[in-house]
Structure 1
Amino acid sequence: MDAGNPRAVDDKRAIDAVVRAFFQAFTNKGGERPDLQLVRALFIPVGLIVKTCSDVPTAYSLRQFIEPREKLLSDGILTDFVEEELWERTELFGNVAQRFCLYRKSGVLRGERFETRGMKSMQLVRTPEGWKICSIAWDDEREGVAIPQEQAKAEVRRAI
């Protein structure tokens, strides 16, 4: 990003706000109600979300992604859930942006506390209504898939 370019600085702030709202939309920690309708508003109508946490990627339309998560987050199966961005790199060119980010999620799933980290790749486009997400792909840290050192170091610096 060209920090000397006022439009690029404004674009980065707007993208930061979209990404922050995306992560916040799933929170049900401390009795907070998730706002998955907001997720629809943050995406272009034909957004694509891809989970790559196994050998075979799973692609979701917005509806396919949101509906089971609404149930999971509102019926007591997943409680005290929060997801937050820990590190990011955003690249902008004209009306397109790429965001690569490290995130952490935690909560209580079926009575068992968990915490994990992962990486998301987000593509955004400028629309007449502002910046919108057009696609997200993510993978979670697990045996054989570790957070790259550059991002892990950034997380440690942030915590200090």
Structure 2
Amino acid sequence: MSARPADVASLDAILAALYDVISGPAGQQRDWDRFRSLFAPGARLIPTGGPAGQPARATVLTPDEYVLRAAPGLERDGFFEREIGRSVDTFGRITQVFSAYDSKRLPTDAAPFQRGINSIQLLNDGTRWWVMTVYWDAERADNPIPARYLKPSGR
């Protein structure tokens, strides 16, 4: 499956597409082919979590495994995630983004039900951008998002 050229033409575009493709109202099926098209072969999504007071754990997923795990809840409950701050480092063809986010059931919700940081590694192969990994952790009372990650990216 080919990516939409506009989705992978720039860093801003691929990050916007990544948030857009998982967001939508309850009852709306997401465009999972579009989602998959953003990722390089071998890419991974890695949520972190675990019960309070226990060691953290990371779950390593392929894009297909993420879809199987996340699609039912996203589509049943509604889910809107947006970037609320960004920090970017680039060296050569690789870029590391700390993308702070908030998540709501409806875009009009007064407050998000969750915030956190997506650590996103990307490759620019000279023709397009590819997501290599998305590794994330949620904000908690003992783990607030540092102010430096809540600054706009200057896009």
TM-score over 0.5 (shorter chain):
yes
Could you tell me which residue of structure 2 aligns to residue 45 of structure 1?
Answer: 41
The structural deviation recorded for 1:143 is 2.9
Could you tell me which residue of structure 2 aligns to residue 22 of structure 1?
Answer: 18
Could you tell me which residue of structure 1 aligns to residue 82 of structure 2?
Answer: 84
1:56 aligns with 2:57: yes
The structural deviation recorded for 1:129 is 4.5
Structure with bigger gyration radius: 1
Q: Which has the higher helix share?
A: 1
Structure 1 letter corresponding to 2:145: I
4+ residue runs over 3 A deviation: 30-33
* Per-residue deviation, residues 68-109 of structure 1 (Å, max 9, x unmatched): 2222233x2x22x1000011111222211111111001117x
Could you tell me which residue of structure 1 aligns to residue 5 of structure 2?
Answer: none
The structural deviation recorded for 1:22 is 0.3
Segments of 5+ residues of structure 2 without an aligned counterpart are 1-8, 51-55
Identity of aligned residues (%): 24
1:5-154 alignment runs, 5 A limit: 14-29=10-25, 33-54=29-50, 55-74=56-75, 76=76, 78-79=77-78, 81-107=79-105, 115-127=113-125, 129-152=127-150, 154=151
In structure 2, how many angstroms separate the alpha carbons of the residues matched to 1:60 and 1:149? 29
Structure 2 letter corresponding to 1:16: D
Say if 1:42 and 1:83 are closer, same or farther in 2 by CA, change over 3 A. Answer: same
TM-score (norm: length of structure 1)? 0.75
Higher relative contact order (CA closer than 8 Å, sequence separation 6+): 2
In structure 1, how many angstroms separate the alpha carbons of the residues matched to 2:27 and 2:130? 28
The structural deviation recorded for 1:32 is 5.3
Say if 1:31 and 1:66 are closer, same or farther in 2 by CA, change over 3 A. Answer: closer
The structural deviation recorded for 1:121 is 0.7
* Per-residue deviation, residues 40-91 of structure 1 (Å, max 9, x unmatched): 10000211111112311111111111122222233x2x22x10000111112
Residue 124 of structure 2: SS of its match in structure 1? strand
